[in-house]
C-alpha cells in the first residue's frame, strides 16, 4: 500500500542557501506518516489516546538529490513495512514534477506512554 501526501514549501522552511533546509525533510516525513495513518483509519492522536501508545522513531535516513524551493508543490509517496513483531518502517519518495528529489526511511517501534517500555505493534497496524 502506498499513500501520496501533497505539500507546499513554506517560506520559513527555506535557509540562506535559498532552498528547503535539510532538517525539514524529517518533518515532512512525519506529516506523510500521519497522513498515511489517517488513510488507514487510525490517526496518530487516536493511537496515542486510545491505545496509550507513542510511536517512537529510532532510525532516520535521507538522501537529498535535488533541492526544494519556496512555493514548490511536491508529493511524498509513503510505504509502510512491518519488520517483525516490534519494529516497522516507512519509506518515502519526495516527488516534484514527476521527478524524485529525495528519498527517506524511518524505523520505529511502539512504547507504552506511561512505562516508556517497548510493546508489540498494535494489531491495527499489522
User: From the candidates 15, 72, 112, 123, which is the catalytic residue?
Assistant: 15
43 binds a copy of itself (CB under 8 A): yes
3-state secondary structure the chain: CEEEEEEECCHHHECCCCCECHHHHHHHHHHHHHHHHHHCCCCHHHHHHHCCEEEEEEEEEEEECCCCCCCCEEEEEEEEEECCCCCEEEEEEEEECCEEEEEEEEEEEEEECCCCCEECCCHHHC
Asked if residue 78 binds a copy of itself (CB under 8 A), the reply is no
CB of 86 to a copy of itself, least distance (A): 15
Q: Active site includes 72?
A: no
Catalytic positions, please? 15
- List of residues contacting a copy of itself (CB under 8 A): 10-12, 14-19, 21-24, 26-27, 30-31, 34, 43-45, 48, 54, 56-65, 69-71
Amino acid at each position: 500500500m502506498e499513500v501520496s501526501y501533497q505539500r507546499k514549501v513554506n517560506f520559513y522552511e527555506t535557509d540562506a542557501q535559498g532552498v528547503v533546509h535539510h532538517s525539514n525533510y524529517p518533518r515532512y516525513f512525519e506529516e506523510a506518516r500521519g497522513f498515511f495513518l489517517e488513510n488507514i483509519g487510525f490517526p496518530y492522536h487516536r493511537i496515542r489516546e486510545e491505545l496509550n501508545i507513542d510511536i517512537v522513531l529510532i532510525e532516520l535516513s535521507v538522501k537529498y538529490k535535488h533541492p526544494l524551493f519556496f512555493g514548490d508543490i511536491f508529493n511524498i509517496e509513503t510505504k509502510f513495512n512491518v519488520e517483525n513483531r516490534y519494529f516497522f518502517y516507512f519509506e518515502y519518495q519526495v516527488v516534484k514534477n514527476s521527478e524524485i528529489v529525495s528519498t527517506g526511511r524511518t524505523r520505529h517501534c511502539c512504547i507504552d506512554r506511561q512505562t516508556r517500555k517497548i510493546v508489540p505493534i498494535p494489531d491495527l497496524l499489522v
